[in-house]
């Protein structure tokens, strides 16, 4: 999965969470907790990128 696609999926999760809270599908207390947990899950799943060796060009 490309970095762009992965970032769009995480962004969609945040937007859907905000919309669900706005329309009353998720209580404020639970949405606040999810807004704290989602970034932690993102970082734990490698959201900050991975260290890769650079290819040496001749």
3-state SS, the chain, equals: CCHHHHHHHHHHHHHHHHHHHHCCCCCHHHHHHHHHHHHHHHHHCCCCCCCCCCCCCC
pLDDT, residue 5, reads: 85
pLDDT, residue 48, reads: 67
**Structure tokens of 14?**
């945040």
Contacts of 42 (CB under 8 A, 6+ apart): 10
Distance CA 41, CA 21 (A): 19
pLDDT at 25 over 60: yes
Report the chain's mean pLDDT, rounded to a whole number: 84
């Amino acid at each position: 999965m490309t970095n762009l696609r992965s970032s769009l999926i995480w962004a969609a999760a945040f937007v859907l969470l905000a919309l669900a809270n706005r329309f009353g599908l998720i209580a404020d207390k639970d949405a606040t907790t999810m807004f704290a947990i989602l970034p932690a899950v993102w970082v734990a799943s490698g959201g900050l990128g991975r260290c890769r060796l650079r290819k040496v060009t001749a």
